[in-house]
């Protein structure tokens, strides 16, 4: 069974294998984007009248993650 599957796999046209690999990768990426937890869900382009969600103001969470030193060190 496995041997016959491998023979069919290696003797089939390469274009067919390429298409199957492309479809599998596309579906995997779509599922990953839909169900995976996003680390930063800070910005929302569709938000109205919220400068933090639109990206005009830097959120406190991002400041905390991006700053190499505490805020008191930056003030000195």
Tens of pLDDT, residues 7-59: 776 776 777 778 888 899 999 999 888 887 666 565 666 677 777 666 677 77
Per-residue model confidence (pLDDT) at position 65: 77
- Which pLDDT does position 63 carry in this prediction? 76
Show the tokens assigned to 2. 């496995």
How far is the C-alpha of 74 from the C-alpha of 76, rounded, in Å? 6
Instruction: Tell me the C-alpha distance between 76 and 70, whole Å.
Output: 11
- pLDDT of residue 76 exceeding 60, the answer is no
pTM of the shown model: 0.38
**What's the burial of 62, exposed, middle or buried (CB within 10 Å: 0-12/13-18/19+)?**
middle
pLDDT of residue 26: 95
């Amino acid at each position: 069974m496995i041997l016959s599957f491998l023979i069919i796999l290696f003797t089939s046209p390469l274009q067919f294998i390429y298409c199957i690999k492309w479809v599998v990768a596309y579906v995997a990426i779509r599922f990953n984007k839909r169900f995976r937890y996003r680390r930063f869900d800070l910005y929302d382009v569709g938000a109205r009248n919220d400068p933090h969600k639109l990206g005009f103001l830097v959120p406190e969470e991002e400041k905390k993650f991006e700053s190499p030193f505490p805020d008191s060190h930056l003030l000195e």
